[in-house]
Amino acid sequence: MAGGAASARREGATAPGAKGAPPAATARSGARRRLALALLVFFSALLYGQIQPPPSKIPGAPGGPPVTAPRTRLRDGRHLAYLESGVPKEEAKYKIIFVHGFDCCRYDVLNVSQGLLQELGIYLLSFDRPGYAESDAHPARTEKSIALDIEELADNLQLGPKFHLIGFSMGGEIMWSCLKYIPHRLAGVAILAPVGNYWWSGFPPEVLEEAWYVQFPQDRRAVWVAHHLPWLTHWWNTQSLFPSSSVKGKNPIILSKEDLPLSQKFIDRTYKANRPRPTQHRALRSPPTLTSDSSNRALWSWSPLEMENPFAGAGDDDEVKVHLWHGVEDLFVPVQLSRYISKRLPWVIYHELPTAGHLFPVADGMPDVIVRSLLLGDE
């Protein structure tokens, strides 16, 4: 019996004062583990808060921007704010929808002269892209949804079965989606200095490398983060530890020789004081943009380089022209991608401007040149 008890004591829990850690040491070890766990949870929550974009501010709602523009309601309940100019749509021979770029809004419509609008009978419609200014954000936005939004906008405003499109910069990239998803609604398209995607399939490595290194280092990093770590994009574009996007930071190094004087037109925008800031959540992709325009870069499941002519087989009376414009000195969006796309897509009419930068669409007289080319085929 005594031997059994001794054996049991040897095999059982260690008695106080024998082998093993004393109770005080065990308690301290448990406290340290709990503290480490608490700190891990705290800093994880803090990091999560830093990398999440702020919640959408709904126009017209408490805390959101005021609604001053006419808006149309989409099927899913969202609203798009818009601006009409030119001749009344009921009298128009041509109806054009303009799609703006980054840090812009409906007022940044192509500045076509009143003389040309009247001469050709042009109705011009611009709108705040989802999440900009007075248009509601689209949290589930994709490269397809924006094309469908444009189609629904045209239907709501009764523009008829077909209309022309002009898109600049980030709006230019959207033109590829419209060509893919709503070609039956298009009478013609002008793509101006479009943002390109370095992960679209079909680009030769040497073209990608040349375009990649035209960008400044901070812009290459911003593009890389947007594609590979989209969940980190908001933090990257708002942190101050490292240089972020040149465009987001309005760094003048991004301006070419011809862009420099043209940039003053953006600085002096007359509506700027009254413009609702685009503080809502936005959601697509690309180089120098904020969270939303950046973070959907990986969502493109196709490449414009794979596209067949969506208007093949149309008769001469129904021929639809697609124009692609790009400046050789563009430091926002390197010309190399557009140049290669134009070689792969022979149905695209390519206009390469040898001394222009990114902002050529706002140069004096250039809007009229672009519109005449689109509507009349003038070179």
Q: What's the pLDDT tens digit per position in 141-192?
A: 889 999 999 999 999 999 999 999 999 999 999 999 999 999 999 999 999 9
Give the distance, in angstroms, between the CA of residue 174 and the centroid of all CA atoms in the same chain: 9
Q: What is the pLDDT of residue 139?
A: 84
Sequence-distant (6+) residues with CB within 8 A of 117 are 85, 86, 87, 124
**Least confident range of 62-76, 116-130, 211-225, 308-322:** 308-322
Rounded to the nearest angstrom, the gap between the alpha carbon of residue 281 and the centroid of all alpha carbons in its chain is 11
User: pLDDT tens across 105-136, in order?
Assistant: 999 999 999 999 999 999 999 999 999 999 99
- Quote the tokens at residue 12: 């059982």
Distances (CA, A) of 328 to 55, 244, 255, 340: 38, 24, 13, 13
Identify the pLDDT of residue 103: 86
| CB neighbour list of residue 156: distance below 8 Å, 6 or more residues apart | 72, 73, 74
Tens digit of pLDDT for each residue in 63-103?
A: 888 899 999 999 999 999 999 999 999 999 999 999 999 98
Please state the pTM of the whole predicted model.
Answer: 0.83
What whole-number percentage of the chain has pLDDT above 70?
Answer: 79
CATH code of the domain occupying 71-215+300-309+319-376: 3.40.50.1820
- Tokens coding 201: 């399939």
Residue 96 contacts residue 87 (beta carbons within 8 Å): no
What pLDDT is recorded for position 27? 67
**Structure confidence by residue, pLDDT tens digits, 198-210:** 999 999 999 999 9
Instruction: Name the nearest CA neighbour of 214 among 174, 181, 252, 253.
Output: 253
Closest to 96 (Cα-Cα) out of 76, 74, 112 = 112
Q: By three-state DSSP, how is residue 367 classified?
A: helix
The pLDDT assigned to 47 comes to 62
